[in-house]
Structure 1
Amino acid sequence: MHAIEQELQRLWRTAAEPVEGESQLPVLRACALNLVVYSADPGRISEIEAVIPQLIPEHPLRAIVMSVDESGGESRVDAWISAHCVQPVPEGKQICCEQIRLDVRGEPISGLSRLVVPILVPDVPVFLWWCGAPPLGSERLEDFLGIADRVIFDSTELENPSVDFPRLARLIVSREANSAFSDVVWIRLTFWRHVVARLFDSPLTRPSLSRLKRVVIGYAEERDAYAPSSQALLMAGWLASRLMWQPLKKLTFSPMQPEEARSELHLRSPGEHPTGARTVTIEFRALRFPSVPRGELVSLELDAEGTPATRFIVAQTGEPSWVESRVEWAGMNPIVQRIGRPETSLAQDVGSALELFGHDRVYEQAVKMAAAFLDEG
């Protein structure tokens, strides 16, 4: 690791030296955070390395990309160093950041985080971006959590939500004092959550929140469905945690074909009712929707009892960049709105996660509620 630091110093000395016959732009070396990227799939490294330069204008960082392939053979670690420079203002200074790539090959090595610690920039936060399914409960993940202030991951990569969401909830609780978590799925749900919340901004619709009796969450699925997707579970967890619903019975499910996969969950609501607490039903539906990536939400229906009965619908249209919201009252004309859905990229999702330094309590409560829905198998 000492050799890496020496090479970094040489790199910056070279960058600062003028080249004869060429105009030299001033170079500003900047670092506001460490981004440690772990991938056990070498095939994803090119995708990761394409994201990092896009992060630098908003998040100057030192990136340490670890590619791990423990398929056998002699254990070895190879390292490469490169710099990424951007010029935010014409004629201004170049902002340059480092990327260190570590390729770990051969037999499994315990305590891999010790390779990273000596090359972290001190006194700035450490973000751990785990590419692929995080091995919840494993020694490898625990090893890296020991150096991370925040962990970025994608819960769509979890192999079995019925087991993994309860594990994730326990991990969030156990790491409360040391690490916070950012889920790419939660970041992508921001649009849906905003659209749903706006449905109840009006004084005419707000009372319906305490009278909701049924929620139907539709998600895209192209193969046999075993459990609701991560997005569907997090949306249900968000609604239930915000409205203080509590599950009356664990959610159970079995493999079914799309269009047939329907799982129901019954919850207790503290809302106003002549007999006190009410029962709310959440139904998960797997739907064939080719224009939407597998697992993503395609529709949300919320039915409220009362006079008049009210239905709220948010649904993906045939165009991926548009959704339609609809409010229906019995005996009245519906209110329909077409809403543009901004396109996002992996770089934007990771960049959004880098903007958070503390705990996202709303996300954590949604995960804990989703975990409370589930049997652990």
Structure 2
Amino acid sequence: MTMTKPTIELLNISSELKKLWDAKQGENKIRASLFTFILYVEKGERLSYYQNLVKTVISKLPCRVIFIQVDEKGEALKSCVTSETMGEGAKQIYCEKIEINVGEKLLPRIPSLILPHLLPDLPVYLLWTKDPAAQSSLLRLIEPIAERILFDADSTEDLQSYARSVLSSLTQFHCQIGDLNWSATSGWREVIEQVFNSPEAFSSLRETKRIRIHYNKKIGSGSQHSEIKAAYLQAWIASRLNWKFQTIELIEGNVRLSYRKPSRDVVVLLQSEEVSTLPPGAILSIEIESSQEEEHYNFKRHPETSQAFIQYSTAKQCDLPYSLPLAHIKEGEEIVKEVFNPSTGVHYREMLEVISEIPWRNAP
């Protein structure tokens, strides 16, 4: 249950949190937190998405939320405190939320304001939604206190610059790095690994001549770049097979990339569709064509279940389709996965290295 949001003095945050909790005494609620969750969000179309994300996180993981909302044109510094309750009946868990609305010119004051409200001896997770390519002194100040920083590439205007900035962060930051879009592709990566886990199948994958990835371009969703998950997935495949990027172009609204490998060139097509029942950027299907015996692999998301259907065929045969579990991460739950099961590692870094070589601005 969300409480009302009266503006309070910044110096009174702790006392106001105590008042909120005191008002809940006798309601069979347990005050609990596993970590402090800080969000840095700029005012805009995605604001409501991040507000809903907070509710998703709290419903799965009790935590104290510090929600920093930045207004580029504003000059004020305001705060309020609210509470969220997870669970039902006699097992309700009470969580606290501190909201700070700040004008961009006053951002240097934020570290000193949030430091007293970090829960002692518990980890701090930071969701940084601003493009890391836009050098931020605030990020450098907050980074030392964070256990893990999670980036969201949807904020970027240039995916190539984004990848280079995150790669730099991987070597410079003391904390771990996470990526919401990378986490969201984990289900498809697991399916591809299962299909091509034999020497024969992997040999076929090495002889790939064309890949076509269909993704959901949901209109009016607030997402600025629904192609990012598809871009990540194709770059991960390219990194695993040591393909070298050559060209990128936009053809009839779809992205066409080409890669060089020892035997021949590979063409990758990223094509958009609109499916209202799935979140923006969701991978809908993947087609992989191999020059080895004209093999063709078709991966397709089941519209209602957490499964991927796989159809294999050659010029001479067509096998019966089969299905594999497709780990489906609901929109907003990527951060829950990153907290419990960090997915960034060598594969993530090498995927970013491929992305960093591609001038995405040439194909907006």
TM range (shorter): 0.7 to 0.9
Corresponding residue for residue 81 of structure 1: 81
Letter in 1 for 2:159: P
Choose from 166, 181, 186 the match for 1:168: 166
Alpha-carbon deviation of 1:127? 1.0
Q: What residue in structure 1 maps to residue 37 of structure 2?
A: 35
Q: Is the 8 Å Cα contact of residues 262 and 285 (structure 1) preserved in structure 2?
A: yes
**Contact 1:219–1:297 (8 Å) recurs in 2:** yes
Q: CA deviation at 1:35?
A: 0.5
Structure 2 counterparts to residues 10-159 of structure 1, below 5 A: 10-16=19-25, 18=26, 24-25=27-28, 27-41=29-43, 44-72=46-74, 75-87=75-87, 90-92=89-91, 94-105=92-103, 107-131=105-129, 133-159=131-157
Q: Which residue of 1 aligns with 2:290?
A: 304
Correspondence for 1:272: none
1:211-250 CA-to-partner distances (Å, cap 9, x unmatched) read 4444344445699xxx99322321122113333x141x54
Equivalent residue, structure 2, for 1:273: none
* 1:355 to 1:91, Cα distance in 2 relative to 1, 3 A: same
Match of 2:236 in 1: 238
The aligned residue for residue 197 of structure 1 is: 193
Question: 8 Å contact 1:33–1:124 — kept in the other structure?
Answer: yes
Q: C-alpha offsets along residues 190-220 of structure 1, whole Å, 9 cap, x if unaligned?
A: 2222222232246763442444444344445
- Is 1:330 the counterpart of 2:315? The answer is yes
- TM-superposed deviation, 1:129: 1.5
Alpha-carbon distance in structure 1 between the residues aligned to 2:343 and 2:297? 33
Structure 2: gaps of 5 or more residues: 1-9, 220-224
Q: Secondary structure at the match of 2:356?
A: helix
Q: Distance in 2 between matches of 1:368 and 1:305?
A: 27
CA-CA distance at 1:71 after TM superposition: 0.8
**Separation in structure 2 between the aligned mates of residue 342 and residue 357 of structure 1, nearest angstrom:** 15
Per the TM alignment, residue 147 of structure 1 is displaced from its structure 2 partner at its CA by: 3.3
Match of 1:8 in 2: 17
2:259 is the alignment partner of 1:265: yes
Look up the equivalent residue of 2:139 and give its one-letter code.
L
Q: Distance in 2 between matches of 1:52 and 1:80?
A: 16
In the aligned structure 1, how far is the partner of 2:101 from the partner of 2:154? 26
- In the alignment, structure 1 residue 347 sits paired with structure 2 residue 332: yes
Deviations 1:339-363 (A, max 9, x none): 6867653332222222246854432
**SS where residue 145 of structure 2 aligns?**
coil
Q: CA separation of 1:317/1:99 partners in 2, compared to 1, >3 Å: closer, same or farther?
A: closer
When residues 257 and 139 of structure 1 are mapped into structure 2, their CA distance, relative to the original with a 3 A threshold, is: farther
How many angstroms does 1:279 deviate by? Answer: 4.2
Gaps of at least 5 residues in structure 1 are 19-23, 269-276
Secondary structure, in 3 states, of the residue corresponding to 1:205? helix
Secondary structure in 2 matching 1:333? coil
- Deviation for aligned residue 1:67: 1.3
The one-letter code sitting in structure 1 at the alignment partner of 2:17 is: L
Instruction: Give the C-alpha shift of residue 327 in structure 1.
Output: 0.9
Alpha-carbon deviation of 1:118? Answer: 1.9
Query: Which stretch shows the higher mean deviation, 180-189 or 109-118?
Result: 109-118
Cα distance change, pair 109–152 in 1 and its aligned pair in 2 (3 A): closer
Could you tell me which residue of structure 1 aligns to residue 6 of structure 2? Answer: none
Instruction: Tell me what 2:3 maps to.
Output: none
1:239 counterpart letter in structure 2? I
The CA deviation at 1:324 is 3.8
* Largest Rg, 1 or 2: 1
The more displaced of 185-194 and 103-112 is 103-112
- 1:234-289 deviation line (CA, Å, top 9, x unaligned): 1122113333x141x54343x54325x423122x3xxxxxxxx5445142333455
AA aligned to 2:186 is T
How many pairs align? 347
Q: 1:207 to 1:264 in 2, by over 3 A?
A: closer
Contact 1:83 1:98 survives alignment (8 Å): yes
CA deviation string 1:285-336 (max 9, x = no partner): 3345555666543432323344x44221224578898754221123112332
Q: Secondary structure at the match of 2:108?
A: coil
CA, structure 1 residues 213+139, in 2 after alignment: closer, same or farther (shift >3 Å)?
same
What SS does structure 2 have at the residue aligned with 1:263?
Answer: strand
8 Å contact from structure 1 (residues 303, 311) kept in 2: yes
RMSD: 3.5
